[in-house]
Chains A and B, each alone.
Chain A
């Protein structure tokens, strides 16, 4: 059950209202209780509980053997995690900000992603790399980027991005249980916004299934992460102008729920793709191509991308850079009038 669905009910037994951050901690706690192979490590994740507090309390409960600080080396963190996963335990490695992941890029794309394939299935690399990503917190160049496309472009990696607290928990648990390496990217802008109901204990949201965040018939918006609530707001405003907008929260970029995307666009005949990464070669470009290839007979307007700029991520002009409700609305209109 997602937070959006939960809103329509009263709080049920076994549910708790949480922020996304709390839901993420809850997911790790739940899995660490379930499976003693699961460990968590990274910079400042021990006593401090992470710079955002995602690992708060885990060292207290599980000890320093299972939740610990590492030296300040992203390639060391991921390299060690790969060795651990190959050996047979289940590491969750936190990279403090996605902007700092590049020293580990080699370990991710050359090693983790190719482990199963290159060894003919003898060795596998089931691990989760958790990292806050995206703009909206006035973080400037190096605390704001959305570099998900690099990882989506690498065969062998799954890329998961939640947009609600309940999904954050359910998808993270699914990621920890997954047999392949998962990039679990956390939209930090909504870490503490938009609380939602989250099931306590066991809660799994399967990887590879999108979510229809809002049903509609005139135009489909494809989005993920922090853009989902922006798109929902734009859809609401658009409804006042008589447009029925369907909003699809992709939840996982790899594997993509292509059938959900195609079915929706074939139904509506129009498509807007919204992402906050630089526009060129972003994940939205792939979505546009899929829609173009598979929905051409149904399209009644151009597939429109609403995205970040092809610039480094700015500090002061961040609000201008990020897609907002107004830009999404303009994108919707472009699919009708071009």
Chain B
């Protein structure tokens, strides 16, 4: 554990010291000590599930660092986190607009959850793997997926890595160890755990981050995945974005548990609740969990409490099932505004930088949209490739027969498969 502990001279003695001393006399002592997380300020699970109560926070609402909690991040890191959040928001806004204009078929907006995704992904090393859920496309772009490629996926065009086979927001980016998910809720949890088990078996220095939402904690795969993660001490972090709503079902109707974090605890996974709109808190909590996994101490469950300010997707109208006053309240807790206040306070940011950043992002997004929209649809052959490593004869026959009806041939008759 000492390996994972960074100098934290400014912090007061954490309560776990007591637990440790006590534990030394008990048979379960080792386990207790390991289960206490290495950073001060981590809340135990089971605290009241209010926004602030029991949540790890670094920044207060005004963007000031709470006493004794400064993670002492480099200025570069702070600016990177901020710029990424701004980019995610702008990309999100523009993509939703494209959907409204009929230029893409569907979109799952992230508005309000930028800190949770950016902060957690930034805490991983590039060699670590990410298993996303619906709203973590930003992670792929942070890892280097070019914007144009993201938009290729949203359009489903001929340059899409998925070859136009998946609905929008199902990015894949293998070079960035970013996994291509399905739409099934929660299945990726077991995959993240399995990949972490494999990394451990192979002796690779790789940690896996598996994202899920509040709704997924009700799904079978959460329970089997969390159980496997704990039993096999797999080097993973399960990061739950509790954005309060699973389409139209509020978290209060999703689970009768006091918190979602307590579910992780029940499986024997050290679990923590963090203010998901506080990017510094998300970053340090995830970083600690990653270090913990990397040092062989097994998984951590993080419940990041945040809020989905728009609909579940472009097809959803949230005004039908929730109170706008609630949304307004969360607008005041905006993660980007909060962090900007912090940077302004520290004189790391100013209006001129903000304007320049937004102009840069707007140009990058405009260019990416133009390039993506210039691409044609996927080739007919892609209907039958990649079902198996080698295209079976019956699929060739099926495609050839159908194309013949339309007077088309498969790639000039020479099957390139």
Contacts and interface: CB of A to CB of B under 8 A. Distances in A.
Contact of A116 (B184, B191, B202, B388): B388
Contacts of A85: 194
A81 B190 CA distance: 8
Given A83-B196, A110-B182, A119 B191 contact: no
A107 B196 CA distance: 17
Interface stretch (A67-75, A139-147, A220-228): A67-75
B392 A83 contact: no
Interface in B220-262: 220-221, 223-225, 227-228, 231
A106 B184 contact: yes
A83 B195 contact: yes
Contact of B190 (A66, A80, A88, A115): A80
Interface residues of A, number: 48
Nearest to B202: A89
B42 interface: no
Contacts of A123: 172, 174, 179-180
B163 interface: yes
Contacts of A179: 388-389
B201 A89 contact: yes
Contact of A118 (B162, B173, B201, B389): B162
A120 B162 CA distance: 4
B225 A79 contact: yes
A258 interface: yes
B120 interface: no
Contact of A119 (B172, B196, B198): B172
A75 B221 contact: yes
Contact of A88 (B131, B198, B393): B198
Contact of B189 (A39, A73, A79, A258): A79
B192 interface: yes
A116 B387 contact: yes
A57 interface: no
Contacts of A86: 179, 191, 194-195
B225 A111 contact: no
A256 B196 CA distance: 35
Classify chain B's interface size. 35 or more
A110 B386 contact: no
Contact of A75 (B170, B174, B224, B385): B224
Contacts of A89: 198, 201-202
A80 B197 contact: yes
Nearest to B236: A83
A106 B161 contact: no
Contact of A120 (B165, B190, B199): B165
B275 interface: no
B158 to A, nearest CB: 11
B184 A111 contact: yes
A82 B182 contact: no
Contacts of A106: 184, 187, 220-221
B190 A258 contact: no
B95 interface: no
Contact of A83 (B190, B389, B394): B190
A39 B231 contact: no
15 contacts: A70-B231, A76-B221, A76-B228, A79-B189, A79-B228, A82-B191, A83-B131, A83-B198, A84-B197, A107-B190, A118-B162, A119-B180, A179-B389, A180-B388, A255-B393
Interface of A: 37, 39, 65-66, 70-71, 73, 75-76, 78-89, 91, 103, 106-107, 110-111, 114-124, 155-156, 158, 178-180, 208, 255-256, 258
Given A121-B386, A122-B161, 13 more contacts: A70-B231, A75-B224, A76-B224, A78-B190, A79-B187, A79-B221, A84-B195, A89-B201, A110-B182, A118-B172, A119-B162, A121-B385, A255-B393
